[in-house]
Amino acid sequence: MKVAVLSESSADEAAIRILVNGILGRDTEATSDLPLRSRGWPSVIRVFPTVLKYLHYRTDADALVVVVDSDDSPIHEPSHETGGANVDCRLCQLRSVATSEIKKLRPTGRDLLKIALGLAVPAIEAWYQCGLDPHVNEATWSRRLQSEPITYTRRTLKQAVYGTERPTIGIEEACAIKAATRLANDFSLIEQLFPNGFVPLARAIKGW
């Protein structure tokens, strides 16, 4: 199965592929390099339509996985599924773009691209810390968004994962791969602690 991965850094894309393989229970094949490189949320949401078109018309990719950080934006919630999307929720925004762009795609004689979207709360480093720091989870960050004091910030998450607030891309990739490999052995805890950002991703991938 050929799967493209789009995220906020190449290090995170390497880790996400490991998670995807773990969820599927088999290795996936990477597609050729995407035409635009994404770095940060603004870039991802901007290039997402272009990436969809590129994969649909110019590659034989079977699926696309997109994961972004929530930062200080709203956490995705079940109410966004039943009561209408939250325009400030990044997962809702990605879903809206995907739905709109897929409707515009012309048939190419093969199956429509499968898509799985995830939201790392507040950043993918929180996923990497899953099982290592019991305070790091979506519920705790939700209290932070309500101005309650908690034990970590996005900056301290980076320090905890990489050993520095300004890691090189090499350090980022090594740490991200190590964390993803550990998590891929058992998804039960990350599904419990990150139910609104990781579980929708895993559910979509399992549906393939």
Read off the pLDDT of residues 72-104 as tens digits, 9 standing for 90 and up: 999 998 878 877 788 899 999 999 999 999 999
The mean per-residue pLDDT over the stretch 30-55 comes to: 85
63's CB contacts (< 8 A; 6+ apart) are 1, 2, 3, 4, 113, 114, 115, 116, 208
- Note the pTM of the prediction, 2 decimals: 0.94
Q: What is the pLDDT of residue 77?
A: 87
Residues 40, 206: Cα–Cα separation, whole Å: 27
For the chain, what is the mean pLDDT? 94
The mean per-residue pLDDT over the stretch 130-154 comes to: 96
Q: What is the pLDDT of residue 31?
A: 86
Q: What is the pLDDT of residue 38?
A: 56
60's CB contacts (< 8 A; 6+ apart) are 2, 31, 110
The mean per-residue pLDDT over the stretch 42-59 comes to: 94
- What share of the chain has pLDDT > 90, as a percent? 87
Evaluate if residue 35 carries a pLDDT over 70. no
Smallest Cα–Cα separation from 8: which of 74, 66, 91, 93? 66
